[in-house]
Amino acid sequence: MFRSLALALLLLSAACSGPQVVKEGPGWREVQASGSTTAVEVTTTDPQELATIARTHADPRLRESAAGRLEDPAVLSEVARGDSEARVRAAAVSRLSDRAVLSIISQNDKDESVRAAAAERRDLIRFVGPGHPEHAGWTSRAPGTWVRLRAELKIGERAGTVDVLRTVIRSGVSGVLLEQREATTRRALQGTVKDMLDRTDFPAGMRQEGEDSTELGGRRVPCRTVLWSGQYGRVIARIKFWLSEEVPGGIARVDVEESPEGEPIRYLRARVVQWGP
């Protein structure tokens, strides 16, 4: 009886003591999982320790986990371009925000899956810096804030609609990092709608301000408007913004009219239909 009680207490003690640590070091540990297998854990949030693990640890599982938590763009670029394991490079790619570096990786990485991940990430992110029409409207918004735009495109006799979701990843006075997705597929926005929305990031030419109203949340709201008219290479474009402080990003609606040389005129209307939180 006493032996059975002692054994039960021993088993209970082992169960309460948590996983057995096999190895550990600054910011990481390896624990016994099931049978002869082990699992690894990153136990730090310190940027320097994360960088050291991602750059130098011998176990690719830990390098992958640390890379997925990195913020430093220089370290992310180094790991994404230089690690020997595709899974580690892919983890770093998922955190990168430098579109130039992502473009290089999408063309040159030796692993097809990493190239695809870099191309998707490059097309997914959108940086709003000082001087951008939306900068003031995003800087005070917390990560996770989002807007949904309904983009209506017409080219000649063809017309179509796509919903676009923009979500804040990081924000601050130096700039705001957003993810821009097609709302239905959750993939990076592509095609003519993306090209025309990209054009609104850098409006140029003659500027004219005014006042107007637009529908927002089922009601008409007064807005300040800014109309840009200019030429972008072979494309003559008119871009008009309806600005309202009620919505994240400050743009309640944007209309784009483009006249490409030798092609039909393209019209795009993108208006905010939802936002949160």
pLDDT the model gives residue 42: 97
Of 233, 271, 276, the closest CA to residue 252 belongs to 271
**Dihedral sign, CA of 120, 121, 124, 130?**
negative
Provide mean pLDDT across the span 126-142. Answer: 89
Enumerate the β-bridge partners of residue 42.
Answer: 28
> Is pLDDT of 13 > 90?
no
Question: What CA–CA distance (Å, rounded) separates 237 from 266?
Answer: 9
Enumerate the β-bridge partners of residue 221.
Answer: 214
Provide mean pLDDT across the span 136-140. Answer: 90
pLDDT the model gives residue 55: 97
Percent of the chain with pLDDT strictly greater than 70: 94
Compare 204 and 275 and report the one with higher pLDDT: 275
Q: How confident is the model at residue 202 (pLDDT cuts 50, 70, 90)?
A: confident
The whole-chain average pLDDT of the chain stands at: 91
pLDDT tens-digit map of 173-196 = 788 999 999 999 999 999 999 999
Q: How confident is the model at residue 10 (pLDDT cuts 50, 70, 90)?
A: very low
Provide mean pLDDT across the span 112-128. Answer: 95
> Is pLDDT of 7 > 50?
no
pLDDT the model gives residue 3: 55
Asked if 239 and 246 count as a contact pair (C-beta separation under 8 A), the reply is no
pLDDT the model gives residue 277: 87
pLDDT the model gives residue 174: 83
Provide mean pLDDT across the span 186-207. Answer: 92
pLDDT the model gives residue 18: 63
pLDDT the model gives residue 172: 79
Report the predicted TM-score, pTM, of the whole model to 2 decimal places. Answer: 0.80
What are the angstrom distances between the C-alpha of 259 and each of 57, 156, 214?
Answer: 54, 11, 25
pLDDT the model gives residue 15: 46
pLDDT the model gives residue 4: 56
pLDDT the model gives residue 12: 46
Helices marked H in 25-146 — which ranges?
47-56, 60-67, 73-82, 86-93, 99-108, 112-124, 135-138
pLDDT the model gives residue 1: 52
pLDDT tens-digit map of 97-106 = 899 999 999 9
Of 140, 141, 89, 134, the closest CA to residue 110 belongs to 89
Provide mean pLDDT across the span 200-217. Answer: 92
> Is pLDDT of 39 > 70?
yes
> Is pLDDT of 49 > 90?
yes
